[in-house]
Amino acid sequence: AQTVTQSQPEMSVQEAETVTLSCTYDTSESDYYLFWYKQPPSRQMILVIRQEAYKQQNATENRFSVNFQKAAKSFSLKISDSQLGDAAMYFCAYTWGGGSEKLVFGKGTKLTVNP
């Protein structure tokens, strides 16, 4: 079964510092995609970053980057130079090819940014 595990229910970081959110997944698929979504208090789900499993290079979007370890089935999110606006729930998600299209979500990590 495809599952996504986020082992950190809550994390906190000081403004301007770096924080890493963990995510592991379980799959037998070879063609799949991984995502991090952010859900601020407004509850709007916002795509943060996307990684294709066949790409070895880690995805980067400005201050957000991932550490994709395919063999370990690990997909962590690093937020550099944390800002107050980064405070939110972060969900790791996975989908696979072959026409499934479903997103499987982890339970989320609540990130607090301290001024």
Partner 1 sequence: GAVVSQHPSRVICKSGTSVKIECRSLDFQATTMFWYRQFPKQSLMLMATSNEGSKATYEQGVEKDKFLINHASLTLSTLTVTSAHPEDSSFYICSARLFGTDTQYFGPGTRLTVL
Q: Using CB under 8 A as the criterion, which residues of the chain lie in contact with partner 1 when the complex forms? A: 33, 35, 37, 42-47, 50, 91, 95, 97, 101-103, 105-108
In whole angstroms, how close is the CB of 60 to partner 1 at the nearest point?
17
In whole angstroms, how close is the CB of 56 to partner 1 at the nearest point?
18
Burial of 5 (0-12, 13-18, 19+ CB in 10 A): middle
Q: In this structure, are residues 33 and 52 in contact, taking their beta carbons and an 8 Å threshold?
A: yes
Nearer to partner 1, 64 or 105 (CB): 105
Q: In this structure, are residues 83 and 113 in contact, taking their beta carbons and an 8 Å threshold?
A: yes
Nearer to partner 1, 26 or 81 (CB): 26
Q: Which residues pair with 64 in a beta bridge?
A: 61, 79
In whole angstroms, how close is the CB of 15 to partner 1 at the nearest point?
24
